[in-house]
Structure 1
Amino acid sequence: MKTMSIREVQDRFEELAHDVEQGETVTVTRDGRPVFDIVPRSMERASQKKGGIDWEAGQAYLRSIGVTDAVPYIADDFDDPLPEDFLLRPLPDK
Structure 2
Amino acid sequence: MEATFELSDILQQLEMKDAFSSYKANFTENVKVIHKTFTDVNEEGSEAAAATAVIITHHGPSSPPPQPIEFKADRPFLFFIRESWQNIVLFSGKLISPLINS
Query: TM-score over 0.5 for the alignment?
Result: no
State which structure, 1 or 2, has the greater radius of gyration over its C-alpha atoms. 1
Structure 2 length-normalised TM:
0.23
Structure 1 length-normalised TM:
0.24
Larger strand proportion of the pair: 2
Larger helix proportion of the pair: 1
